[in-house]
Amino acid sequence: MRGTTTFGHDIVHTITRIDFAEWMWRRRRPGCHGLPMATTGKAALRERLLAARRRVADDVRAAEARMLREQLEFMVTSGSTVCAYVPVGAEPGSVEMLDMLLRRAGRVLLPVARTAADNTPLPLCWGEYRPGTLTTGRWGLLEPAQPWLPASALADAALVLVPALAVDRRGVRLGRGRGFYDRSLGDRDPRARLVALVRDAELLDELPAEPHDVPMTHALTPQRGWVTLGAR
């Protein structure tokens, strides 16, 4: 059973209270197939959220990207560093958003994903965003050109935009499951704003949480704008 949210002329399928209650009930049960229930619950939730994103029409995505860009424009401090990312697929945002951040802040860092020899994710490296210089990296992700900066460069940022499939009111973020950001955000400035960019329907009341999760301080959605999460 699915709920709908009307936006323009499109209907965006999202999570209903019934769906969410089912996930919460399942994650409190003992693990299945040898995996912790939080892990299996997150996997099911990712599948549903990704399926919902694939149904969002192109014109809706473009309108959402414009609204996110406008919301961000008034929250960026001149002469500052912003850590952002290049949206892929149906992720909210756009390259034009990066261009605006560069004009307003003066410096934008983008992530570079790397793994160890055994394919274990490593903390993200960072590279400075320069329009027209993005290259295709591993997994088809667009990355900044070299030279790259170490993971500790994250500490320069007053604002960190973090990709998310969903985020809850406590600041718990649901990512893709690789753990790159959880391994990286420990290098942040403690005063930095950690902002999950999500669609309005992806701001939920509660998500499954694990001890290693780094909470977001804010969510940014196209229509609700800036939402403070958890307790600062």
Q: What is the pLDDT of residue 231?
A: 59
Residue 167's beta-bridge partner residues? 173, 203
Q: What is the pLDDT of residue 141?
A: 87
Question: What are the structure tokens assigned to 22, written together?
Answer: 């089912």
Going by C-alpha positions, the residue among 223, 230, 226, 229 that lies closest to residue 6 is: 223
Distance CA 86, CA 143 (A): 8
Helix (H) or strand (E) holding 21: helix 17-27
The series of mean pLDDT values per 10 residues for the chain, 232 residues long, is 36 40 44 43 90 95 97 93 94 96 98 92 96 89 94 98 97 90 94 97 93 94 96 54
List, as one string, the DSSP characters of 80-97.
Answer: EEEE-----TT-S--HHH
Q: What is the pLDDT of residue 157?
A: 98
Question: How far is Cα of residue 191 from the mean position of the Cα atoms in its chain?
Answer: 19
Q: What is the pLDDT of residue 39?
A: 55
Q: What is the pLDDT of residue 106?
A: 97
Q: Which domains does the chain have, with CATH numbers?
A: 68-228 (3.40.50.10420)
List, as one string, the DSSP characters of 140-182.
Answer: G-EEPPSPPBPGGGGGG-SEEEEE-SEEETT--EE--SS-HHH
> Which residue is associated with the tokens 């809706």?
60
